[in-house]
Amino acid sequence: MITEHAVLQIDPTKAAEFEAAFAQARPLIAGQPGFLSLRLLRIDETAGRYVLIVGWATLADHTEGFRRSPEYDPWRALLHPFYDPMPDVEHAVDVFTD
């Protein structure tokens, strides 16, 4: 399993609008081959900061599958306008897990 991780910073005054857009975007990613799970966490200490965690079966399911799928452009159109700055997206593998 691969875990995609991104710290998302948005204008705090647009948090409700961002969360509504994310709810619309979620089905676009959830239906992708290799998609396993998704979590969107709002950071309490920093207004407008979120952490996105997505589980994928393989790295290619995200980088080649979803990012090249017809659903990626609508995902990007819904969410990318909120990001300031654009997030760094990283992929991790489990070392220890409980």
Domains and CATH numbers, the chain: 2-87 (3.30.70.100)
Within 8 A by CB and 6+ apart from 39, the residues are 51, 52, 53, 54
Residue 98 gets which letter from DSSP? -
Report the share of the chain in percent with pLDDT over 90: 98
pTM (predicted TM-score): 0.95
Mean of pLDDT values over 56-80 = 98
pLDDT of 85 over the 90 cut: yes
In 15-48, at which residue ranges do the beta strands (DSSP E only) sit? 35-42
SS3 at position 57: coil
What is the three-class DSSP state of 61?
Answer: helix
pLDDT class of 98 with cuts at 50, 70, 90: confident
DSSP state of 44: S
pLDDT tens per residue, range 22-53:
999 999 999 999 999 999 999 999 999 999 99
